[in-house]
């Protein structure tokens, strides 16, 4: 692996971006940040890659490649198949924000070799292996246009450890993944004509009797029911029933 051609202060900033990304990246093992290298398609060929562009204080592209263990854990979650992009997005955002306030696009899933090859084709791209011992378990790759003229680590602490780290598998590695939770009072079906006729003050009748519990959904999957309450002028739900996985309700 060859070294990237960006300057040492810029490399320090890249290491800081990797540290910040690793702090919020769900992984099966506790990883450590490796030495930055030039991005290449063969750094990590298994798993899934998520790539996103960002703009603002800096403009560029960030790629995170995660191992197949995380992709499989998300796909086979008891809550149903979860969105890999949503699970990895906090790491993408953390890496991009190391260069200042930025706006990140939604991102997309790609094959690792394709994503790494695309970013390797950009001038002065750099990749940081995320290591379990000496083995690459994940990769962060970055390309900026232009790179900042100087950089600093901002005092970010290293997450790695010289002691053997415990292995997390299955649902354990998903504990820190943020998910969209929604509450549903009821549903109905309407024709396009009825929808177009809606106006302020119109009443839409739902398929739920007054006083019936509301549904709590994660990733569109029903997980609980409860009663609507008001907490400091905000609505909330007091859980009254947990719906067991596979119940078909």
Confidence of residue 155 (pLDDT cuts 50, 70, 90): very low
My answer on whether 106 and 201 are in the same domain is no
Q: How far apart are the first and last CA of the chain?
A: 53
Given this model, what pLDDT does residue 177 score? 62
My answer on whether 84 and 17 are in the same domain is yes
Given this model, what pLDDT does residue 160 score? 40
157 lies in some domain: no
Say which CATH number the domain at 141 has: 3.40.1550.10
Task: For the beta carbon of residue 45, count every other beta carbon within 10 angstroms.
Answer: 11
My answer on whether 196 and 141 are in the same domain is no
Listed in sequence order, the residues at least 6 apart from 109 whose beta carbon sits closer than 8 Å to its beta carbon are: 48, 49, 50, 84, 85
189 lies in some domain: yes
Please give the Cα distance from 64 to 139 (Å, whole number): 6
Could you tell me the CA-to-CA distances from 18 to 87, 126, 212, 247 in Å, in that order? Answer: 17, 11, 48, 41
Angle (CA) 235 241 246, round 5°: 120
My answer on whether 103 and 30 are in the same domain is yes
Confidence of residue 246 (pLDDT cuts 50, 70, 90): low
Say which CATH number the domain at 194 has: 2.30.330.10
Least confident of 25-34, 150-159, 218-227: 150-159
Confidence of residue 163 (pLDDT cuts 50, 70, 90): very low
Task: For the beta carbon of residue 159, count every other beta carbon within 10 angstroms.
Answer: 17
Q: Is residue 73 a contact partner of residue 27, using CB atoms and an 8 Å limit?
A: no
Confidence of residue 64 (pLDDT cuts 50, 70, 90): very high
Given this model, what pLDDT does residue 46 score? 85
My answer on whether 14 and 86 are in the same domain is yes
201 lies in some domain: yes
Please give the Cα distance from 18 to 172 (Å, whole number): 22
Confidence of residue 19 (pLDDT cuts 50, 70, 90): very high
- Mapped to the 3 state alphabet, what secondary structure does 163-194 carry? CCCCCCCHHHHHCCCCCCEEEECCCCCCCHHH
Phi, psi at 170, each rounded to 5°: 55, -135
205 lies in some domain: yes
pLDDT at 1 > cutoff 90: no
Q: Token pair of 31, please?
A: 């990883």
- Mapped to the 3 state alphabet, what secondary structure does 33-83 carry? ECCCEECCCCCCCCCEEEEEEEEECCCEEEEEEECHHHHHHHHCCCCCCCC
Domain that residue 144 falls in: 8-151+169-174
Please give the Cα distance from 68 to 137 (Å, whole number): 9
Structural domain tally of the chain?
2
Count Cα neighbours of 244 within 13 Å in the Cβ-side half-sphere: 1
Buried b (16+ CB within 10 A) or exposed e, 228-242: eeeeeeeeebeeeee
Whether the bond between 81 and the residue before it is cis, its omega within 30 degrees of 0, is: no
Given this model, what pLDDT does residue 172 score? 55
């Amino acid at each position: 692996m060859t070294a990237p051609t960006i300057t040492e202060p810029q490399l320090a900033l890249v290491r800081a971006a990797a540290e910040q990304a690793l702090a919020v990246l769900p992984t099966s093992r506790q990883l450590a940040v490796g030495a930055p290298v030039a991005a290449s398609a063969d750094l990590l060929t298994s798993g899934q890659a998520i790539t996103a562009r960002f703009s603002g204080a800096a403009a560029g592209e960030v790629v995170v490649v995660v191992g197949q263990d995380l992709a499989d854990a998300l796909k086979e979650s008891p809550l149903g198949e979860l969105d890999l992009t949503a699970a990895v997005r906090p790491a993408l955002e953390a890496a991009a924000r190391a260069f200042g306030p930025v706006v990140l696009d939604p991102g997309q899933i790609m094959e690792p070799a394709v994503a790494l090859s695309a970013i390797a084709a950009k001038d002065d791209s750099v990749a940081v292996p995320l290591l379990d011992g000496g083995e690459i378990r994940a990769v962060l790759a970055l390309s900026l246009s232009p790179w900042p003229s100087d950089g600093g680590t901002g005092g970010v602490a290293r997450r790695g450890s010289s002691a053997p780290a415990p292995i997390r598998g299955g649902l354990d590695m998903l504990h820190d993944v943020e998910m969209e939770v929604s509450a549903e009072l009821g549903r109905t079906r309407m024709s396009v004509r009825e929808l177009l006729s809606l106006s302020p003050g119109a009443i839409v009748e739902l398929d739920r009797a007054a006083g019936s519990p509301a549904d709590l959904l994660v990733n569109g999957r029903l997980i609980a029911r409860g009663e609507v309450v008001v907490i400091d002028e905000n609505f909330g739900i007091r859980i009254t029933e947990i719906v067991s996985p596979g119940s078909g309700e």
